[in-house]
Amino acid sequence: MIKYQKDTDNIVTLTLDMSGRNANVINHEIGDLFLPVLQHLQEEKSKGKLRGVILTSAKKTFLSGGDLEYLYQANDPAEIFHFTEKLKRFLRDLESPGVPVVAAINGTALGAGFELALGCHRRILLAAPRTYVGLPEVLMGLIPGAGGIIRLMWLLGIEQAYAVLTEGRRYSPHEALEAGIVDELADNRKDMLDKAKAWLMRNKEGRRPWDRQDGTIPGGTAKQPAVAQRIVQLTAHLAEKRNFLAPQAILNVLTEGSKVDFDTACRIESRYYTHLLRSSQTKNMIKAFWFDFHFIEEGKNRPKGFGKFRPRKAGVIGAGQMGSGIVLACVVNGIEVVLKDVSKSIAERGREFVANRLNEMIAHGRLPAEERAGILGRIRTTETSKDFEHCDLVIEAVFENRNVKQKVTKEAEMYMDEYSIFGSNTVSIPITKLAETSVRPENYVGLHFFHPAEEVPLVEIVRGARTSDETIARAFDFVRAIRKTPIIVKDDWGFYAARVQNTYILEGITMLQEGYPPALIENIGQQAGMPKGPLAMADDIGLELALRYEQQAAELYGAKYIQHPAVSVLAKMLEELQRPGRARKAGFYSYEQPDERQIWPGLQEHFPVTQQAYPTEAILERFLFAQVIEAMWCMQEGVIESVAAANLGSIHGWGFPAFKGGVIQYVHDYGPAEFVARCKVYETGFGQRFRAPKILRQMAEIL
């Protein structure tokens, strides 16, 4: 539904208000809805009865992105091309009525929603909290498809447009103004509409730069040598994102589109959009970051029958990087925090950490400077547990030692009431064991944040043997309240993320033992899409922890446990060579400089290269298969409760390739039957760890 209102100055306000939806969304029908409105505007203009148009929304947001449910199913190239060309024609009609059009952006406008705003002659954005604009399609393996790339290029130039498009950032109002993607900010809705009208009264003609004979792209086109050279450099930088198709497609569209007229450039964009949307990579990423994300966000795994928990005040024990990161995640989302350490002066270091991070956010335009004092004011530092008296929950983030964790739990619970919950941020100690000394084990839960806690969007909620459903539900709501993604996991060895991540690490270590060059192992690990090579990741988590997970597995499975071949290497590194990892500046790497590392030269002596052939594809698959198989065991053993949680947990938890859509989606993309068949090949060649679990074999039979 589009509300049409005309004032005495012949300025028309079009208000988007799609019925049956919480938000306006651009889909394959919106052009048809606008067609009669645009025709009427043309008629009004021809009669001299139209001065300008204001486009705004009746919803809390301005306009959401494209209809991803529709796009995920779309596969016919002609249909996709027609869809994107239809949106482009609609926006061309909107920006070409011969009168100026202002987008009065009253709330968030992302993706195709912001492309609509780009199709207007001026953009005025309401400077409200939690309002964002931008073109984040690249984060789902997509590119803008309604002319957004071309319009941004004409507004900003090739290089700046490339940065905006490939970063996939959601811009706050102040960031958007600084980046040049909006023209003006407004304090409130009335101010926004008043500014829109004032601009229209000053500007009679509506003509975009690309529709003017003297219009030029800022900085020049790809025909110019200096610009062409810069494009070569950007292409080289894309080697770091070699597994992602969308950034390269964006650069191609900018390069090719800069050499032709606007409408031809838009058709070039449509062709790349069509090709990309049909790719398995894009489908995988839409599945993970849209469908799986919303499955979790809507609480499909949250225990039912409990009202929503709205935490107001949290306690955090430990002012180190992890504890301070948790504090920051809380206070920026409106939750008061009592931060405790052994002394108030040490606790104050946590406040300093938060203050410094807030300064960085302000410097980058992600936080209005006037909010800083209020956010810091939510932190109270202390050295006594008595200050936890009125906390809704308390989270410990102390040293990874069972006795230390149980000690701080006892101290805190002395002052916590019977309704508050206690969360442990442990990475390897079973929650059930930690809860043995708790006076209310039903209120005790694992809350496993990932480093850095203020940035990583995932939290594992670990259910102990006596943790109640209500506590799980409340923990889930807390994680959502700090705008992170909660996945509920069983209290098993390594929980979910660390357990599966360890298989990648161990596989790399095994290859070292098999005689492959360490540099090759690391490079292929990154070629597979992992954030680091397995040896670097082993150093970062610590070889003792990697070994501890295997020891826990041995304890759990008993006689059924088959020792991983990497265990002997870990034992040698720890016991004989005394190289436990990065924390001691000695592991598979050496650390001569604080921010640099090099593969330890001594590896050649203790693990000589004996392999003559380097089957890159098989090595790459071993890395990914090892993780996927372990994730499937987790599904079979009830460690993880849903496919959505398994997929997002793998991407956010340890960096499984996002373009694969997560560990379970990888099987669907590979083909379940083909995957199981390949497992048999690797099982024959490398051992029992590649045996496909029953749940995987059943998937292959069903599909």
Q: Which residues are catalytic?
A: 115, 137
Alpha carbons 619 and 36: distance in angstroms, whole number: 59
Side chain identity at 138, as an amino acid letter?
V
Helix, strand, coil tally for the chain in percent (to 5): 55, 15, 35
Type of residue numbered 313: K
Listing DSSP states for 393-446 in one string gives EEEE---S-HHHHHHHHHHHHTTS-TT-EEEE--SSS-HHHHGGG-S-GGGEEE
Helix (H, G, I), strand (E, B) or coil at 581: strand
By CB atoms closer than 10 A (0-12, 13-18, 19+), residue 3 is exposed
Cα atoms in the Cβ-side hemisphere of radius 13 Å centred on 502: 27
Type and span of the H or E element at 315: strand 313-317
DSSP state of 127: -
Residue length of the chain: 703
Q: Which has the closest alpha carbon to 193: 313, 104, 284, 74?
A: 104
Query: What DSSP letter does each residue of 515-573 carry, written as one string?
Result: T--HHHHHHHHHHTT-SS-HHHHHHHH-HHHHHHHHHHHHHHHGGG----THHHHHHII
Question: Tokens 């110019």 appear where?
Answer: 224
554 and 570 Cβ atoms separated by less than 8 Å: no
Give the residue from 358, 377, 395 showing the smallest Cα distance to 481: 395
Per-residue burial over 624-649, b if 16 or more Cβ lie within 10 Å, else e, is bbbbbbbbbbbbeeebbbbbbbbbbb
Cα separation, 679 vs 666, in Å, equals 14
Q: Which tokens go with 665?
A: 């989606």
- DSSP codes of every residue in 177-239: HHHTSSSEEESSHHHHHHHHHHHHHH------GGGSTT---TT--TTSHHHHHHHHHHHHHGG
User: Distance of CA 218 to CAs 153, 227, 585, 699, Å?
Assistant: 8, 11, 48, 54
CA count, 13 A, side-chain hemisphere, 114: 29
